[in-house]
Structure 1
Amino acid sequence: MDTGREQKYREIESDLKKRIEGEVRFDKYSRLLYSTDASMYEIEPIGVVIPRHKGDVQAAIEAANRFAVPLLPRGGGTALAGQTVGHAIVLDFSKYMNQVLEVNQEELWCRVEPGLVQDELNARVRPMGLLFGPDTSTSNRATIGGMIGNNSAGAHSLTYGKTLDHVLELTVYLSDGSEVALKDLSFGELGAKIVQDNLEGRIYREIVRLAEEHKQEILARYPKIMRRVSGYNLDEFAKPKPFNLSRMVVGSEGTLACVVEAKMRLVPKPKWTALDVIHFEDDIEALEASHAILETAPYALESTDKMVLDLARGNIVQSKRLGFVQGSPSSLLMVEYAGDTEAAVREQVDKLEKLRQARKIGYAATQAFKPEEVRAIWGVRKAGLGLLLGIKGDKKPIAFVEDTAVEPAKLPEFIKRFREILTRHDARAGYYGHCSVGCMHIRPLINLKQEGEVKKMVAIADEIAELVLEFHGALSGEHGDGLARSHFNERLYGPVLYNAFRQIKRSFDPNNLMNPGKIVDAPAMTESLRISPAYKTWAPETLLDFSGQGGFAAAVEMCSGMGECRKKLDGTMCPSYMATLDEEHSTRGRANALRAVLSGKVPNRDFSGKRLYEVLDLCLECKACKAECPSNVDMAKLKYEFLSHYYRANGLPLRNRLFGRIEKWNRWGSRLAPLSNWLAHSRCRCATGCSAGSKSGIVGARAWRRSPTGLPIHGPTAGCSNYWPGSIAGARCRALPGRPLKTGTEIIDPRERRAEERWFFSTTRSTPLTPRPWPSPRHSCWSDPAIGSSCPKRDAAAGQ
C-alpha cells in the first residue's frame, strides 16, 4: 500500500479516536481479520470501529463524509455473498451494541440493538412464551442487524416468512449522519415527510415517485414467490399498505442506511413440536413428495442430501446425532409439526404416516417427539453448510448459485435442469435447503486456485441465471446479492427497474459512501476472490503431521469464515471469544491471521512474530473447535505448531520453564510445605508471569498415593497430582461407577521431543487401575510440541 494512502488512514484513525468512545482499530492485523466473511471474497477494509452506542455510529458516519471514504455496517460476518466485506470503515456492532432494550409481552414486540444475536433474543423471550420467528441456520451467531440487512429467513419461513415480515420500526442514521425513525405513516404523516427540505424528505419524495411511476413494471418483473431477496424492495411500495420506509432498508445490505435500533414483531412459541424424518432413495423423489406433504400443513419442511449426511458421519459432534438415520438414504425430508400438546402433534405425525404409507412415500421414516431428539435432528440440518465446507482438498463447495428460489411446485423440474447444467460442467454439488418454499442451497465444488475452474464457475452462474429467469424465480431466496450476485440484477429485473434501483441508491446515499458495489454497480463476481489462481502460500517446515489436511496451509484454509466459533449460548467453542466478544479471539480470527501470514499479506517473519502470538495467545487449546466446528478446524494443533516456531525464534519465558518442571517443584514444595505454599501465594508469583488475581494450587506435606477405592495410582500423572492434598487428588480419581476418568498431566522431555503417555484410570473395584496409553502433543511448557513415545515422531498429532 502506498505511503500517501497509509498517511490518510492514520489521519482518519486519529480523528476517530478523538470522537469514538468505543474501539478504533486500524492496524494491519485488525484490518485483515475483517477482510473476509463466510463468502469466497476478501477485501481489506480501511479500518474497524467497534461502537459502544449510537453516538459512536453517528461520529463514524460524519468522519466518513469528512474524509470521503465508504462505511460498512457488519454484524456476525456470516454473509455468504460478500455483503460484509469492502474497502471501507467497518462498523462491528456485535461486541457492544447487542442488547434487548425493551420487550412488550402484551403487544408482542421487542426493541433491540443491531448486534444482538438471534438465539440470545430468543433466550430472553422464550420464558415469556414468545420467539422471534425467522430462524436462520446461523441463529447462534448471526445478528438481528445482519438479518435486517439481508432480509433473512430460515427453516420455519413456511410459517413465519422473512425478516421483512417482522420489522415494525427502525431507527437509522442516513448517509449524512442524520438520525431518523422509519415506521408506518398515515397519509398526513407521509405528506409532511415529503415536503421536508433535507435528505430524509428527498428520499420520501423519490420512493413515492418511483413506486408510482414503475408500478406496472414492478408487477411484471418481480418474482411471484415468497423467497426473493435480490434487489431493493420497491415492490413493497406498490402494494396497498401503510407507507413504511423501513421496508426499503430491510434487505438493502447496508447500502442505504445504518440501523442502530429495531422494533421487531414477536410470535407465540409453539408449546410442542415433533418431527417425522422420511428417507428416500432418490432426491428428486423426495422433492416430488414434498408437494403432497405440504398439504398436511407442516410447521417446517426441510431437505438434506447424502453428501451432507456422509460428512456428518465424519464430524465428532454431528456423528452422535445420526441415530435417527435408517440405512443410507440419498435424501431426507424433515417434516415438523407444532401444537399445544404432545397428543396434538402425535396426531399430525400419525396422519402423515398414513399418507406416506398410502402413497408409498419414501422407504422409511423416523419420528421424534422428545425435545432433545428434535433438537439433535435440527442440529444436523443446521450444520449442513459447515459440513460441506469441511470437505478436504482444494475443491470447495462455493456459494455463488447456492440460493436460488422458485415456486415449490416447480422445484423438482428446476432441480433436474440445475443438475443437468452441473453435469455438463463436470461439477458435483451438495443439495439441502427449504423445499417447502422452493429455496434450495446447491453448492458446486470448485477449485478457485485454477483458472479453468474459475471460468467454469462463471459459466455455471450464467446458465443458472438464465434458468432462474425461465422459471420466474430468484437468484437469491435468503442469502442476498453481495458481490456474488449483484451483477445479475439488471438481467433479472430489466433495465427500467435496475435504473430505478440506482435512483434509490442515489436518493439515500448521494455520495456513494454506504457499502458501495452491492446490489447496483457491482464488480464482476470474480474480483476480490479470497482464493484465486494468483493465491500462493509458503510452507513452513512443520514438526507435526498435517498430511491428513493436505498440509499446514490447507489445515488453515479449512476455516471458511462461517463463524460457528462466535456462538455463546451452547457448547464450548470458543471460550476466548465467549469471554471477550472479540473477533481477534475467535477461531475464525486466528485462522484469518495465520492465512494472512502464509499467503504473504504480512511478511513471512511474522510467523514467529509478537502480533501473531497475541492473536493466538488466548486460545486455550481446548480442542472444542475440532469437535464443534462443522468444518473440523483444529486451532489447537495449529497453535502447537506456531508456538514451536515462535519459541525457537524468541526463547522460552520463565513461566514455561517453571511449569515444564512442575513435578520437580511439587516434590520440593511438598518437602518445604507450608513455606512453599506461602511463597506461591505471595507477590513473588508475579515474577513467573502468573496473573496476580489467579490462585495457585496448594501442595500437601505428604504424597497422595492411592485412589479413594484403595487401588494404587499409576502413570506419569502421579508425578504432579500426588503432591496435592487429598481433597484435590481424590477429586481427580472419583467418577461414576463403571465410568473411566481421564487424567492428563504429562511429563515432557524437551531434548528428545518425547512425551510420556497419557493415562486413563477406572475407579471401580471390579476393574484394576490399568493404564492405557494415549499419545498427545502439548506445547504449553516447551518450545516444541511433544511427540508421543508410542508413535512416529511427526505423526503424533495426526489423530488428535
Structure 2
Amino acid sequence: MVAPRTVDDAVAAIDVCRRHEVPVLSRGGGTSLAGQCCNTAVVLDWSKFCHRVESVDRERRTAVVEPGIALDVLNAQLAEHGLRVGPKPSTHVSCTIGGMIGNNSCGASAQAYGKMVDSVRRLEVLTYDGVRMWVGETDDEEYRSILAAGGRRAELYRGLRLLRDRHRVGIRTQYPDIPRRVSGYNLDSLLDENHFHVARALVGSESTLVTVLRAELDLAPTPGADTLVVLGFPDVTVAADAVPRVNPHEPTALEGLDHRLIELEHSRALAEQAAQHLPAGSGWLMVQFSGDDQDAADAKARALIDDLGDSVSASFVHDPHEEKQMWAAREAGLGATAYPPDGPETHEGWEDAAVPPERLGDYLRRRAGRRLLRAGGQLRLRARALRGVHGVRGGQAAPGRP
C-alpha cells in the first residue's frame, strides 16, 4: 500500500513500479459496499493525503480537485460558491472523486445530473509507461497538433482514433441507449458527435488504462430548496411501472423501495423512523424535486401527485431531518440486503443491473419469477436431502422410520 502525500509522489511511485514491472492499482475507495478493489498489485490509496481542492471557477461552474477527496467533503467546500457535484452515490460520505471516476458512479441524483462521466470536463492522467498529460475534448485542430508533436502521446491518440473508426458502426448501433449504462469502456465518448472526449472515454475504466492524477469537473448549482414525496404502490413491480410517468416531471432524484428491504432494515434497527413516513403499500418510489424556493419545489411534487391521481398513495416529507432519515434508509439498503439473516447467502452486484425505464416493471417481474423457480428447486432438493437423511440408507431402514 502506498499513500502518496502529493500527486508527484504518486507519479514517482508508479515510476518505481514500472521499472520493476509491478502492477499498480489506483484505489479511489468507498464507492462499493466495502470500498473493495481487485488485483494483486501496489495499491495507491489517494484518500489519506491527496484530497485538495486546487481551484474553483464559479462563473464556469468548474473545479479542479485531487482524486482522494470524498464527495461530501468536496460538496461542503463548494457550498460557499453555491455549487456541488451532481452525481451522489449512496456512499457519498466516504466515496472519493477518484473512485467515482473509476466506477462511473451515479446514485439517486442520476435523474437530474446523469453519471459521473457527464460531470468530467478534463482529467490529468498518467499511463503506466510514463506519459503524463491532460485529456478532454479533442477537436480536429488539437488532434493535428498532438500528431505533429509526435512521441508516445501522438501514438496513443492515433490508436484511439483508429479504434474508434474501426468500430464506429458497432459503437453507434450496439451500445445500449439507457440512462444508467456504466458497464464497459465508454468508447462512444470518442465519436465525432461527442467531440472525441478522451477524458470521458477513460471514466469507468477502474484503473485499467491510466492513473487519474487530477480532475476538472463540471458542477451544478445548489438548489434553493428540496422536497421529497413518497409514493405507495401495491408492490415494487407496480411502482416500477410508474417510473415512465414520473420521469417527465423531471425529479432531481428517484429511488425505489420494497417491503422486503424495509423488513430487513427493521431487523437491523436501520429504518424504524423512516418507515413512519411510508404511505400505504408494499412498494414505494422516493421522488425528490428541487426549486428556487420551497413553494416551487412543492408545486412540482403536487403536480406529479395530481397526474398520478388515485392510483397511488402519497406522503410529503418536509422536515429536513425526516428527509435525511428516508434517504439514509434507502442508502443502507445494499448493506441490509447483501446478507439477509433469514435467507440464502447473496452477494451485492445485481443492484447495478440497468434496463430502460419503460421495461423496468417487466424486468422485476421476470426476476421475481426466476427467484420463485429457484426457491422451488431448492425446496425439492431439500426434500430429497431430507429423504436421504431420514429415509432408507444402504438398503436398511433408518432408526425410528418404517
TM-score w.r.t. the length of structure 1 is: 0.45
When residues 124 and 292 of structure 1 are mapped into structure 2, their CA distance, relative to the original with a 3 A threshold, is: same
Aligned twin of 1:416 = 365
Q: CA deviation at 1:129?
A: 1.5
Q: Out of 29, 34, 39, which is 1:76 matched to?
A: 29
> Aligned pair in 2 of structure 1 residues 301, 423: CA closer, same or farther (>3 Å)?
same
| 2:391 match | none
**Does residue 331 of the first structure (1) align with residue 283 of the second (2)?**
yes
> Would you say 1:272 and 2:222 are equivalent positions?
no
| Whole-Å separation in 1 of the counterparts to 2:266 and 2:324 | 17
- Give the 3-state SS of the residue equivalent to 2:351 in structure 1: coil
The alignment status of 1:350 with 2:299, answered yes or no, reads no
* Matched residue type, 1:361: S
CA contact (8 A) 1:174 1:256 kept: yes
Is contact 1:190–1:243 with CA below 8 Å preserved after alignment? no
Could you tell me which runs of 5 or more consecutive residues in structure 2 were left unpaired when the two chains were aligned: 378-402
Aligned amino acid, residue 379 of structure 1: A
Shift of 1:397: 3.0
**Cα distance in 2, alignment partners of residues 101 and 323 from structure 1:** 43
Residue of 91, 96, 101 corresponding to 1:138? 91
Given residue 392 of structure 1, which amino acid in structure 2 is its aligned partner? Answer: P
- 1:395 aligned to 2:344? yes
Shift of 1:270: 1.0
- Alpha-carbon deviation of 1:181? 1.0
Relative contact order higher in (CA < 8 Å, ≥ 6 apart): 2
Is 1:112 equivalent to 2:65 in the alignment? yes
Aligned-residue sequence identity (percent) comes to: 35
Structure 2 residue 228 is the aligned partner of structure 1 residue 289: no
Q: How far apart, in 2, do the equivalents of 1:81 and 1:318 lie?
A: 20
**Conserved 8 A contact 1:73-1:84:** no
Task: Give the stretch that moved more between structures: 366-375 or 191-200.
Answer: 191-200
Q: 2-side partners of 1:90 and 1:374: how far apart?
A: 37
Shift of 1:399: 2.2
- Aligned with 2:325 (options 348, 353, 376): 376
How far apart are residue 198 of structure 1 and its match? 2.9
Aligned-CA RMSD value: 2.1
Q: Secondary structure at the match of 1:351?
A: helix
Instruction: Output the CA distance in 2 between the equivalents of 1:393 and 1:71.
Output: 40
Cα distance in 1 for partners of 2:376, 2:191 equals: 41
Which structure has more strand as a fraction of its residues? 2
The yes-or-no answer on 1:52 pairing with 2:5 is: yes
- Partner residue, 2:381: none
CA 1:195–1:427: 2 relative to 1, 3 Å: farther
User: Conserved in 2, the CA contact under 8 Å of 1:149 and 1:252?
Assistant: yes
What's the offset of the Cα at 1:312?
Answer: 2.3
Work out which of the residue numbers 347, 357, 361 in structure 1 matches 2:311. 361
8 Å contact 2:27–2:43 — kept in the other structure? yes
Change (3 A) 1:394 1:378: closer
Question: SS of the residue aligned with 2:299?
Answer: helix
State the one-letter code of the partner of 2:306: K
Alpha-carbon shift at residue 370 of structure 1 (Å): 2.6
Match of 1:341 among 288, 293, 296: 293
Q: Distance in 2 between matches of 1:427 and 1:239?
A: 51
Q: Could you say which residue in structure 2 is the equivalent of 1:673?
A: none
CA distance in 1, matches of 2:350, 2:334: 14
Deviation at 1:305, TM superposition (A): 1.0
Contact 2:338 2:348 in 1 (8 A): no
SS in 2 for 1:264: strand
Look up the match of 1:520: none
Aligned residue in 2 for 1:258: 211
Shift of 1:56: 1.6
User: Letter of the aligned partner of 2:15 in structure 1?
Assistant: E
SS in 1 for 2:180: coil
Per the TM alignment, residue 294 of structure 1 is displaced from its structure 2 partner at its CA by 2.1
338 and 65 in structure 1: CA distance in 2 versus 1, 3 angstrom threshold: same
Q: Which amino acid aligns with 1:246?
A: A
* Structure 2 equivalent of residue 694 of structure 1: none
Alpha-carbon offset, residue 107 of structure 1:
1.2
Aligned to 2:112: 159
Note the alpha carbon deviations across 1:296-329, whole angstroms, 9 max, x for none.
Answer: 22222210111211122234453233320245x3
- Partner residue of 1:230 out of 176, 183, 187: 183
Closer/same/farther in 2, CA of residues 395 and 82 from structure 1, 3 Å limit? farther
Give the match's secondary structure for 1:68: coil
Range 95-104 or range 287-296, more displaced: 287-296
Q: Is 1:190 paired with 2:143? A: yes
Please, which of 16, 35, 45 is the counterpart of residue 92 of structure 1? 45
Q: CA deviation at 1:77?
A: 4.3
Helix, strand or coil at the partner of 1:273: strand
Q: Work out whether residues 289 and 361 of structure 1, in 8 Å CA contact, stay in contact via their aligned partners in 2.
A: no
Q: 2: distance between equivalents of 1:256 and 1:53?
A: 21
Secondary structure, aligned partner of 1:324: coil
SS at match of 1:218: helix
* 1:210–1:249 Cα change, 3 Å: same
Distance change (3 Å), C-alpha of 1:241 and 1:291: closer
Deviation at 1:394, TM superposition (A): 8.0
Q: Identify which range, 229-238 or 87-96, moves more after superposition.
A: 229-238
Report what 1:386 is aligned to. Answer: 335
Distance 1:374 1:77, change over 3 A: closer
Matched residue SS, 2:54: strand
Q: Distance in 2 between matches of 1:365 and 1:83?
A: 37
Letter in 2 for 1:406: V
Query: Is the aligned partner of 1:311 residue 2:311?
Result: no
Report the CA distance between 1:173 and its aligned residue: 1.1
Deviation at 1:196, TM superposition (A): 4.3
Distance 1:379 1:122, change over 3 A: same
3-state DSSP of counterpart to 2:184: coil
Measured in 2, the distance between the counterparts of 1:427 and 1:142 equals: 39
Separation (CA, whole Å) in 1 of partners of 2:167 and 2:336: 43
Q: Distance in 2 between matches of 1:181 and 1:51?
A: 20
Partner of 2:383: none
Cα distance, 1:421 vs structure 2: 2.4
Query: Take 1:58 and 1:346, find their aligned partners in 2: how far apart are those partners?
Result: 50
Question: Which runs of 5 or more residues in structure 1 are unaligned?
Answer: 1-47, 429-800
How far apart are 1:291 and its partner, in Å? 1.9
Q: Deviations over 1:243-291 (max 9, x none)?
A: 3311221111100110111110111111111111011222211111222
Mapped contact 1:305–1:331 kept (Cα < 8 A):
yes
The answer to whether structure 1 residue 127 and structure 2 residue 127 are counterparts is no
- Note if contact 1:77-1:84 (Cα within 8 Å) is conserved in structure 2: no
Change (3 A) 1:394 1:418: closer
**Aligned counterparts of 2:256 and 2:61: Cα–Cα separation in 1:** 31
CA-CA distance at 1:128 after TM superposition: 2.1
Give the 3 Å change call, closer, same or farther, for CA 126–333 of structure 1 in structure 2. same
8 Å CA contact retained: 1:342, 1:369: no
SS of residue paired to 1:356: helix
Distance (whole Å) between structure 2 residues aligned to residue 396 and residue 302 of structure 1: 25
- Structure 1's 330 and 221: CA in aligned 2 closer, same or farther, altered over 3 A? same
- Alpha-carbon distance, 1:418 to partner: 2.2
- Judge conservation of contact 1:183–1:245 (CA < 8 Å) in 2: yes
Contact 1:61–1:176 under 8 Å retained in 2:
no
Q: Figure out how many residues of one structure are paired with residues of the other and give that number.
A: 377
Task: Please report how far the alpha carbon of residue 147 of structure 1 lies from its aligned counterpart in structure 2 after TM superposition.
Answer: 0.6
8 Å CA contact 1:126–1:269 kept in 2: the answer is yes
What SS class does the counterpart of residue 425 from structure 1 fall into? helix
Match status 1:201 vs 2:154: yes
Q: Which residue of 2 aligns with 1:457?
A: none
